[in-house]
Structure 1
Amino acid sequence: MPEDADDALAWETTASDVAYTCPGFDIVRDEVVLPDGTESDYDYLDDDPAVVVLPFTPDGDVVVIEEWRQAVKRVNRGLPAGGVETDDADLTAAARRELEEETGYEADSLHALTTVEPANGISNAVHHLFVAEGCTPTGERDLDFNESIRVAETTPDALRDAVREGACRDGRTALALLYYEAFEA
């Protein structure tokens, strides 16, 4: 039972099924009863947990990726990120794997930054944010068939400026950088 199931705002789910499935996610349709007794349906994106890595080089630069994002039809500057896989021993292992696969960089150390639900009005996605330090290009990239990625380094100040000016519109990147600067730096 969900932790808030007894809250007066909770919706009761009476039925649930997958309305659409594709590689990467499903669309789930729940039949629900609202707090006032109204019966309705609610569709949402069912997404696997993901890790997002804020990687710093020994010189303090940030390793970023530039990746084509079909949904917005442009190249997006952001942080390495990806889904947690069944053979990942834990979330830290998933973060290390995604960092190396997407960038070829390996980290001396990694620690958890925070966990967020980036779009919980339309998705059950959970993103686990990590900070990686001492990152050097000593690993091997292993991109998925549908990833088109360029790797670059930038300063934290330049990345923050890009977020502020709207040149970096990736929400995961903005949140990870600003959270880090507000609570960790």
Structure 2
Amino acid sequence: MSTDNYRTFDPWRPAPVREGARKQIVESHYFNVDRVSFESPGIGQFERYVLQENNGDTVGVLAVTDEGTIPFVEQYRVPTHRWTLEIPAGHANSHSERPLDVAKRKLREEAGFEAGRMAQFCRFVNTPSFSNQHTALFYATGLTPTVREPMGPETPRPRVRFYTLDDAYQMVINGTIIDAKSVIAVLQARCGIKAVEDDQA
């Protein structure tokens, strides 16, 4: 099989559509929804709904205890009507709260740990078909226990479960862990956690 590309991939080449009017139709704490009109040479005008994330990136934290286990938080998710296992994660409370600060806060609030070392190791677009939401993943070590805080009405006092990376990987493979940021974090760590550890040294 040839490894040659038909075309060198350029994510910033000219757009095939032109944006026209944009109107905000939903406003919330975490995101807004805009109705946007576009024009295409092939089909003319069409509309799309675009979710705009507020206050910067969502963050997730893959933390590793001194015993080599990763804390996962049990959360009940209303839209899917099911419980999930997720790495600690969340949004900024304001434009001034930086992703690293959010990561530290969510690790403390959801898993009950402070981290001696924390570094970003991945960033991805969640759903580029309808949202500009990005998630930044952080790797945390040097953990010390601290006081956890209530999280919200859906899961006011979630349980934290601890798994090794190998166990978490198997739970991704067998469909026990299905939350996207947690899946990506586990697979990234499985493939390249040594590089992240070197960056923190």
Structure 1 segments of 4+ aligned residues over 4 angstroms from their partners: none
Most deviating of 83-92 and 175-184: 83-92
CA pair 161-28 structure 1, distance change in 2 beyond 3 A: same
Match of 2:70 in 1: 62
Q: Deviations over 1:113-163 (max 9, x none)?
A: 1110011112111101110112232x2222343351221211111111110
Aligned counterpart for 2:150 among listed residues 143, 147, 163: 143
SS at match of 1:142: coil
Instruction: Determine the C-alpha separation between the residues in 1 that align with 2:31 and 2:24.
Output: 10
TM-score by length of 2: 0.82
Aligned counterpart for 2:186 among listed residues 157, 166, 177: 177
Instruction: Determine the C-alpha separation between the residues in 2 that align with 1:98 and 1:35.
Output: 46
Q: Which one has a bigger Cα radius of gyration? A: 2
Name stretches of at least 5 consecutive residues in structure 1 with no aligned partner. Answer: none
Identity %: 24
Q: Deviations over 1:7-34 (max 9, x none)?
A: 1x44221111112234432221111112
Could you tell me which amino acid in structure 2 is paired with residue 143 of structure 1? P
Match of 1:85 in 2: 93
The alignment of Structure 1 onto Structure 2 pairs a total of residues equal to: 180
Match of 1:45 in 2: 51
Name stretches of at least 5 consecutive residues in structure 2 with no aligned partner. Answer: 1-10, 195-201
Aligned counterpart for 1:159 among listed residues 160, 165, 168: 168
TM-score by length of 1: 0.88
Could you tell me which amino acid in structure 2 is paired with residue 153 of structure 1? F
Alignment of 1:114-125 (within 5 A): 114-125=122-133
